[in-house]
Structure 1
Amino acid sequence: MTSLSSSSAYPDSAVYPAAPGPVRPPRVLSIAGSDPSGGAGIQADLKAISALGGYGMAAVTALTAQNTLGVSSVHVPPVEFLRQQLEAVGSDITIDAVKIGMLGDAEVIGEVRSWLGTVRPAVVVLDPVMVATSGDRLLRETAEEALRHLLPLADLVTPNLPELAMLLGEPEAADWASALDQGKRLAAACGNTVLVKGGHLAGDDCPDALVNTGGLLRQDIIEVGGPRVYTGNSHGTGCSLSSALATVQARTGDWEASLREVKPWLLQALRDADRLEVGQGSGPIHHFHHLEASAAPDTFAARLWAEASRELGAINALPFIEGLESGALPESWFNYYLAQDALYLNGYSRVLARAGALAPSEEEQLFWAKASQVCLEVESELHRNWLATRRTSQATGPVTKSYVDHLLAASASGSYGVLLAAILPCYWLYAEVGHRLHASYVRNGEPASHPYADWLRTYADEEFAEATRTAIRFTDLAAASASGQERAAMVEAFAHSCRYETAFFDAPRLFA
């Protein structure tokens, strides 16, 4: 198997600098109450932030005596102590996002409002905690008006349906259409985005919707569907969702993308909640279900992602990606990249066809055969629409040759699992990088003047995202039936392909 550090025509010690470390995790501050049973409040927030890849911090607004059965007592410390907590964290640590939960009383709300006005964090998610899952009131009635004045300082507000109704001073919505209408009116009143949640409605479907009156969202209502998870253990769901959204939003800058990433995690956290067996009442959700799953053979991709995430940080820091995002990328670099991409896709299509020949099921055979055909079609399209009108070298570059040689070696190994592991980074890393670039383009208002606008728009292709998920699933299945030695070879093949992906994006800087 070809190695970047040995017999490769593109040794990293010669022309490719050492990859930087992974991008630092978002630093997320939770301003909320404490739940000693660990299911809600800052305890749930810190778990959710960590589960979604962030570094969690907490400023405590209130102390509760509660468990899975209910809340028996609430103590609100002097507001001066909250001020000291916020100043201590803010004076020392850069805060990327803030999640606000239980505030308790009007004085606490006023202090948080004053701090937000001074610090102005980039991302603020407000979960207007007013009533606990058990039905216990967590916000004094005299503080409701103060909370309404705090709402405009948040970028995203995440009330459940009872809280949404209380904020508007109306009866609780009885159906989804009414809930969306209430969400639109609250968003209009506050000038921000409201996440309308369908968890309190009846039925097998449990939709969520981002609602606003303009701004970064591309439309007024973006609905993300999902199944209802029937469980008695949902303690801390709202706290966890809002914290997870704050964490992911600090990375993506796109509320829709953040919700689409967080919601599957939350659904699985609810599905696995019963396994925790915590308490006699409404137990907590399982924040770290994915860590348990990563040790199982059928979630082998979780192990591969540890390799991919390191290279993803390196790719995002490359001048080519930065230039493509800003529009400052030299056209000669882009032309070189596309020319090499066309040459690469020709070889990649042969490797995909080989995967189809080795595939054990008809579903996999058809998937890889179609993928091979799409590669050839994309190559033809590149030549016809862009490269045919521009002057660039048609010679195979050293990175392209080494990468294709590596894939061909994997296809000749005779192992379906090793071949899939080598193939996967071209799907997975490309999809992740593309998602980030497209989110940035949308966040900047989708300027038509961007020289690579047409290219950036293609990154929103849901069909490719779905194909990536399918490729990951097939790799997991192959690993489940592989020997320990073969799984080790899969990890090695995957890691090499990840490094070639980074090298491929950096090649225009070196060779264009």
Structure 2
Amino acid sequence: MTGPRRVPRVLSIAGTDPTGGAGIQADLKSIAANGGYGMAVVTALVAQNTRGVRSVHVPPVAFLAEQLDSVSDDVEIDAVKIGMLATADVIRAVREWLDRVDPPVVVLDPVMVATSGDRLLDEDAEEALRQLSSRAHLLTPNIPELAILADEPTADDWTAVVAQAARVSARYGVRVLAKGGHLAGADLPDALVDARGEAVAVAEFPGVRIDTTNTHGTGCSLSSALAARYARSSDWIEAVGESKRWLAESIRHGASLEVGSGHGPVSHLAGLWERGGTVTRPTADEVETDWWEDIREIRAGIDEVSFLQGLGDGTLDRSAFLWYLAQDALYLRDYSRVLAAASGLAPTPDEQAFWAGAAQGAIAAELQLHESWLTPDALEAVRPSETTTAYLDHLLACAARGDYAVLIAALLPCFWLYQDVGTRLSALSHPEHPYVSWLDTYADEAFAASTRRAIDIVARVAAAEGEHRRAAMREAFRISSAHELAFFAAPTSPSRASALT
């Protein structure tokens, strides 16, 4: 059996976008959304928003080199995404670092042309970027950038784009992701092109154009997603397919962000929010504390029940006590069956054994009632009260649904509340107490250990479940707790009917 997959550590080397839609800000969100741990080295500080770039500040190249070395001296890097490199000196510094560190995966998004169509780099920088291209494992140019890398006119149809990508792939010895975003029409194809060998391999990924203006930073986002995805799978076709689907989903949700008045950003985490939510997952200890606090009022009600108060101080009428024992005997018969059902549904041998042992213990408790307080003839004549029937109906319904998590949550109060009440009642036991033999059963160390185990199992299962399933477990637990209160209150209720005929 293999262990959990390690989260890939992905470094973005790019410029900034203070609005968060492009550059390293987009890269970090993309890397996280695609299963990686994002890191960033800043190549340029860009004053921009959704309407355009105002100015660019390039920090000293020596500082860039210090940033790069500070990361690689300490962190094992699984993949690198390279975006905006503003000058030839910056490009050369990055190339020297790549040669020295040799990261296993390098995705280069050759930022060379602005959305307006203006070229962003001078001739020296463009030539340096061409040289850097041969150091990458994958290039992700848009169509105008692809033409610059090819030293050719811009391709004007998809067939020409793919052919040009093949020439760039062969020229630089690198895979190229050809992107159809700059073409007109409803289709939005991409193609992974590999012409490094004798034959050209082309894997096409069809797509449909999304009617939206939220396209700011899509190139940055896609390239960083690819770096993270490939670092996880080591499969370029899988990485492209998954990254493309993720980006389309993020584009569809971009407008809901309502960021900016120009070309807005995509919603990088929309899919995660929709499928996983933003509610934190509690620990098992937090579940235990939260659920116990949630039934505080029920627990307070149990403490006020006259049956338990009379049982504790010895003033309880014997007929009420025998009525309770008779109903408890009826309850235990079906309760043991529900425990057995939990054992059958349990996912591990350890849990199966625990619930099966509890079922056996419930039967043993019933036999003890036969022998100590009630005659067999009396037990045969017992009729279940409405309270007993309602509690068992709840447990049997949970068992019938076959939902292990909800079922064990419903079973827990019979352990937890019984043991909580019993611990306090057993402290009142003394040799002359009329119910001493019964009170002493509450102090049983084996039952205390069994209760602790039941709490641990249920809390651990609840902590591992999603929000909605955990809520269903909590509701089943609360309903059973309310039934426990009713069960304790029934023996001294004015409406109680005789259970022994």
TM-score bin (small chain): 0.5 to 0.7
Superimposed CA distance per residue, residues 211-242 of structure 1 (whole angstroms, 9 cap, x where no aligned partner): 01257x99700111122111111000000000
Q: Could you say if the C-alpha distance between residues 141 and 218 of structure 1 is closer, same or farther in structure 2, counting changes exceeding 3 Å? A: closer
Aligned counterparts, 1:304-383, within 5 A: none
Residue 54 of structure 2 corresponds to 72
CA contact (8 A) 1:98 1:123 kept: yes
- Counterpart CA distance in 2 for 1:116 and 1:163 is 22
| TM-score, normalised via structure 1 length | 0.55
**From 213, 223, 233, the counterpart of 2:195:** 213
Q: Could you say if the C-alpha distance between residues 284 and 185 of structure 1 is closer, same or farther in structure 2, counting changes exceeding 3 Å? A: same
Residue 280 of structure 1 corresponds to 261
The yes-or-no answer on 1:163 pairing with 2:150 is no
Residue 472 of structure 2 corresponds to 485
Once the two structures are TM-superposed, the CA of residue 24 in structure 1 deviates from its matched residue by 3.0
Amino acid in the other structure paired with 1:485: A
- Counterpart CA distance in 2 for 1:256 and 1:288 is 22
CA contact (8 A) 1:46 1:57 kept: yes
The yes-or-no answer on 1:223 pairing with 2:223 is no
Superimposed CA distance per residue, residues 278-308 of structure 1 (whole angstroms, 9 cap, x where no aligned partner): 1111111100102320256xx99x99xxxxx
Kindly indicate whether structure 1 or structure 2 has the higher relative contact order, using CA contacts under 8 Å at least 6 residues apart.
1
- Counterpart CA distance in 2 for 1:36 and 1:481 is 37
Once the two structures are TM-superposed, the CA of residue 415 in structure 1 deviates from its matched residue by 4.4
Identity among equivalent positions (%) equals 55
Secondary structure, aligned partner of 2:134: helix
Residue 24 of structure 2 corresponds to 42
Larger Rg: 2
Superimposed CA distance per residue, residues 65-107 of structure 1 (whole angstroms, 9 cap, x where no aligned partner): 1111111111111111111111111101111000000000111
Once the two structures are TM-superposed, the CA of residue 60 in structure 1 deviates from its matched residue by 0.9
Q: Could you say if the C-alpha distance between residues 136 and 417 of structure 1 is closer, same or farther in structure 2, counting changes exceeding 3 Å? A: farther
CA contact (8 A) 1:418 1:486 kept: no
Amino acid in the other structure paired with 2:169: A
**From 223, 236, 239, the counterpart of 1:258:** 239
Once the two structures are TM-superposed, the CA of residue 172 in structure 1 deviates from its matched residue by 1.6
Residue 63 of structure 2 corresponds to 81
The yes-or-no answer on 1:240 pairing with 2:221 is yes
- Counterpart CA distance in 1 for 2:20 and 2:37 is 18
Superimposed CA distance per residue, residues 136-194 of structure 1 (whole angstroms, 9 cap, x where no aligned partner): 54333431111111101000000011110121122221111010000000000011100
CA contact (8 A) 2:177 2:191 kept: yes
Residue 113 of structure 1 corresponds to 95
Q: Could you say if the C-alpha distance between residues 136 and 88 of structure 1 is closer, same or farther in structure 2, counting changes exceeding 3 Å? A: same
Count of residues in correspondence between the two structures: 314
Gaps of 5+ in 1: 1-15, 304-398, 407-411, 420-478, 490-512
CA contact (8 A) 2:142 2:182 kept: yes
Task: Tell me which stretches of 4 or more aligned residues in structure 1 moved more than 6 Å.
Answer: 399-403, 416-419, 479-483, 486-489
Amino acid in the other structure paired with 1:261: E
CA contact (8 A) 1:417 1:486 kept: no
C-alpha RMSD of the superposition: 3.8
Residue 9 of structure 2 corresponds to 27
Gaps of 5+ in 2: 282-345, 354-397, 406-465, 477-501
Residue 470 of structure 1 corresponds to none
- Counterpart CA distance in 2 for 1:109 and 1:78 is 13
- Counterpart CA distance in 1 for 2:237 and 2:219 is 18
**From 101, 125, 131, the counterpart of 1:149:** 131
Residue 361 of structure 1 corresponds to none
Superimposed CA distance per residue, residues 228-258 of structure 1 (whole angstroms, 9 cap, x where no aligned partner): 1111110000000000100111111110011
Secondary structure, aligned partner of 1:153: coil
Residue 463 of structure 2 corresponds to none
CA contact (8 A) 1:62 1:76 kept: yes
- Counterpart CA distance in 2 for 1:101 and 1:73 is 17
- Counterpart CA distance in 2 for 1:59 and 1:81 is 10
- Counterpart CA distance in 2 for 1:59 and 1:288 is 22
